[in-house]
Structure 1
Amino acid sequence: MQLCNADDFGISQQTAGRVISQTLDALATPAFLGRYIKFPRIQAEIQEKQADFREIANFPGIVGVIDGTHVRIVAPIEYEAEYVNRKNYHSLNIQVVFDAQYRILDVVARWPGSVHDSRIWNECGLKRKFERGVIPGGCHLLGDSGYPCQPWLLTPYLQPRNVAQEAYNRAHKRTRLVVERGGFMFCMARFE
């Protein structure tokens, strides 16, 4: 990526790397993140997000869908093996929470590709906010089976035992996949 950007703008790879790093640092400032990437805390915002999700598959209480995606990177010199993911390429594992309109509510973009989604969740600030009650009760995220089922993070039944659990899984999958696929496709299209 740096070589392409360097060639496109007639600058060296080192300069491209420095510009990319400075840009990412600027985007990661609390002022920027707080303005554009924020998890709802006001009841009206929460209810709006829950209504948007309910329209997809009548799944109540959902404010966001969480998932990880691997972004391919050039192999780093240090700790190279940690960046090799399960598909055997170097990546960062980026955790994103989307709302039903594909807006990013939370993002964690610092983990090597070998790190599992559940570890990223277990160590992220959003989980701590749920645990401490900073996020109001009644707010839930939907995650795939790679995440632990928790009061605020709903995952599918691995082996549904009755009709109600099967219906739950169908609504869960439909809601989650609509947002995951659309959200990640929307993001990738914006940054290509």
Structure 2
Amino acid sequence: MSVTSASRRDRRERMTLGVVITVGGAYVIRWPQRHELPSLAEKFEERGGIAGVVGAIDGTYICIPGPSIHRGSYVNRKGHPRFQLQVVCSKDLLFLDVVTGWPGSVHDSRVFRNCPLKERLETGLLPPGYHLLGDSAYQLTPYLMVPFRNNGNLNIVERTWNRGNLNIVERTWNRAHSSTRVSDIPVVIFAACLLHNFVILNAGVDEDDIELGDPGEDERDPDDPEHYENAENAVIKRRQLVLTLF
């Protein structure tokens, strides 16, 4: 293939991605309206027993070719070049919010701290009875419930909560592999997320594809100065939710 032909192909691909994102971005990936929250929460509670959950948040890595510039920024803690992808996922596996473009060396909690969704959550996006569910990478807040930190002294109630803490994002997201140049990869990832939702909205989803995740290792960011559990309202809320499991 000649350089000219390759350039035309690249332009066509970028134009196609632009159309997909422009047409579908506002309709296929969207945050639920308030009247939809009870239905979302009911589905999570039926499966995992935890009330008020409207979505599960998690970060995953997208494999990329090793960039020649600033390569170290893209290498994750396992030593591989990656892009970060943060998604909020419904129980039906629909992506409610997507953030991508951060290099793989960045911790999940930092991506969340700097994303538009966090700012909206801080200003009352979710009513008091609703929240997201995340793993130990995130800070406990009234709008984001996370596992109890396991220092070896958890009681049976706290261990039960941790086992029931849903983590469906990594289990349902097939990591994207692409030879696309690094500067275009976030656009490709977002387009893939749109297509993921489009398929589910039009073809449905098999219930067998939805699994309860097991709590993994403690993934707290040691460099996060805000990662502590002294948010009194959040602590009380989590304790009340724990008691509903028994």
- The 1:65/1:16 distance shift into structure 2, 3 A limit, reads farther
Which 5+ residue runs of structure 1 have no aligned equivalent?
Answer: 1-5
**Does residue 75 of structure 1 match 2:72?**
no
Is 1:62 aligned to residue 45 of structure 2?
no
Matched residue type, 2:173: F
Picking from 98, 116, 125, the partner of 2:107 is 116
Q: Which moved more, 1:181-190 or 1:97-106?
A: 181-190
- TM-score scaled by length of structure 1: 0.79
Residue 20 to residue 79, structure 1, CA distance change in 2 (3 Å):
farther
Say yes or no: does 1:164 pair with 2:157: yes
Greater RCO, 1 or 2 (C-alpha within 8 Å, sep 6+): 2
Is 1:141–2:140 an aligned residue pair?
no
Question: Does residue 52 of structure 1 match 2:43?
Answer: yes
Deviations 1:40-97 (A, max 9, x none): 1322x10111011001121111011111111111223332211111121111010011
The share of aligned pairs that are identical, in percent, is: 34
User: In structure 2, what residue type is equivalent to 1:135?
Assistant: L
* Alpha-carbon RMSD: 2.6
Taking structure 2 as the reference length, the TM-score comes to 0.63
For 1:16 and 1:76, how far apart are their aligned partners in 2?
Answer: 21
CA distance in 2, matches of 1:102, 1:79: 34
More helix by share: 1
Shift in alpha-carbon separation, 1:15–1:147, aligned structure 2, 3 A:
farther
**Aligned partners of 1:119 and 1:170: how far apart in 2?**
25
Q: Output the amino acid matched with 1:184.
A: W
Q: 1:183 aligns with which of 169, 172, 179?
A: 172
